[in-house]
Each structure stands twice: as C-alpha cells, then as structure tokens.
C-alpha cells in the first residue's frame, strides 16, 4: 500500500524539517472519517499547506515564517514535498495543564494550541512524536482538487510508495531525537506509546 501524506501547515512542516520541534498536535479535520483523528500510518510524506496558517497563531520568533513559506511555495497548480516522517510515538491529553507543560515544544502560541484542545472538547488532543527526514532532492507534483480541504491524510499521486526508497537524512541524530523524546515524557510524567497501525 502506498504511503499517505500527512497534511500540516507549511510552517509546521518547516519546523519539523528544521528540527525545531518533534511534536505535532491533532484533533482531526472536518473531512476526517467520522470527524475524528486517527493515525493511518506510522510512516508518511509531509504535505505542507498554507491553508489556515496565520502569523498571530505562532510564537513571535516564527511569525515571519508564514510570509516566508508563502513566498517559497511552488508555482500554482503544484506541490513540493521536502520530506517524510515516522510517527514514532503518541499519546492523548485532555487537561490544559498537560498542554501548558508542552508549551516550549512547538511553534504555536499556547492560546492557539489550547483552542485546538477545546475544539470538540469531548475528544482528546493527540500528541504525536514525529521523526522527520529531509529529502536530498524535493519532489514536485501536480496539485489536484481532492487534495484540498481540512483533512489530516491525503493520498498524493506520483510519490514513491515507500519514502525510504528516496535519498533522505533524518533531521536529528538518533541521540538528539531520543533525548528530546525523553524530555517530552518527563514533562508529561509518563511514557508515550509506540505508534502501531
């Protein structure tokens, strides 16, 4: 089965591929199956989108990234894939205090992250530990209308079935990634569960 693409703000994909963060938080988009988030694969292409991203939703040091990612976007009608990721571990949270503890571990403002926690408040917020890999050469694809909209997972036409078949390097060493993951677990006071699909 082909590896799906994980759709996320271009600034967050940039942060993952720069080693600025190893976490992503998800509640599920409006087009998700049953309108709930679920991990579809433990390996995914990183699909950057400029939909919904706004500077005021990011910490001040990253706000300029919105304009920069828009300026660097590929020509209209195309997508550029710069990397892929392993979804290494996961947990869910439902308490604001747990989210506050993770505040320094992602580029969103705490207020915006908290709004994701409160949206569909009966559903927990997923915390995903993401091991990103940067492609040596980006892959450019034609954009298709079905790729649009608010969804986490997209099947992109024209990508290799297996990301490991393309030349790429992890953005963090094994030791650095493991250390950052341990800090997340120490902050939460519990181990994350290994992602299994």
Local confidence pLDDT in tens for the 197 residues of the chain: 689 999 999 999 999 999 999 999 988 655 556 667 888 999 999 999 988 899 999 999 999 999 999 999 999 999 999 999 999 999 999 999 999 999 999 999 999 999 988 877 778 899 999 999 999 999 999 999 999 888 889 999 999 999 999 999 999 999 999 999 999 999 999 999 999 87
Rounded Cα distance, 125 and 127, in Å:
6
Is residue 15 within 8 A of residue 31, CB to CB? The reply is: no
pLDDT on residue 32: 56
Rounded Cα distance, 71 and 76, in Å:
12
What is the number of domains present in the chain?
1
- CATH number, position 100: 2.30.130.30
Q: What is the pTM of this model?
A: 0.94
Number of residues assigned to the chain: 197
Domain that holds residue 52: 5-194
């Amino acid at each position: 089965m082909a590896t799906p693409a994980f759709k996320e703000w271009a600034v967050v994909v940039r942060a993952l591929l720069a080693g600025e963060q190893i976490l992503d938080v998800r509640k599920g988009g409006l087009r998700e199956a049953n309108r709930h988030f679920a991990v579809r694969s433990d390996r995914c292409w990183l699909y950057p989108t400029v939909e919904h991203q706004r500077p005021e939703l990011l910490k001040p040091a990253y706000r300029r990234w919105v304009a920069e990612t828009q300026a660097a976007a590929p020509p209209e009608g195309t997508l550029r894939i710069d990397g892929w990721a392993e979804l290494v571990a996961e947990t869910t949270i439902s308490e604001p205090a747990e989210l506050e503890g993770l505040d320094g571990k992602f580029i969103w403002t705490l207020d915006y992250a908290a709004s994701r926690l409160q949206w569909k408040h009966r559903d927990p917020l997923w915390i995903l530990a993401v091991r990103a890999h940067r492609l040596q050469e980006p892959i450019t694809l034609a954009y298709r209308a079905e790729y649009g909209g608010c969804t986490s997972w997209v099947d992109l036409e024209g990508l290799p079935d297996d990301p490991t078949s393309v030349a790429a390097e992890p953005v963090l060493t094994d030791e650095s990634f493991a250390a950052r993951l341990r800090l997340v677990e120490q902050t939460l006071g519990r181990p994350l569960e290994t992602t299994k699909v």
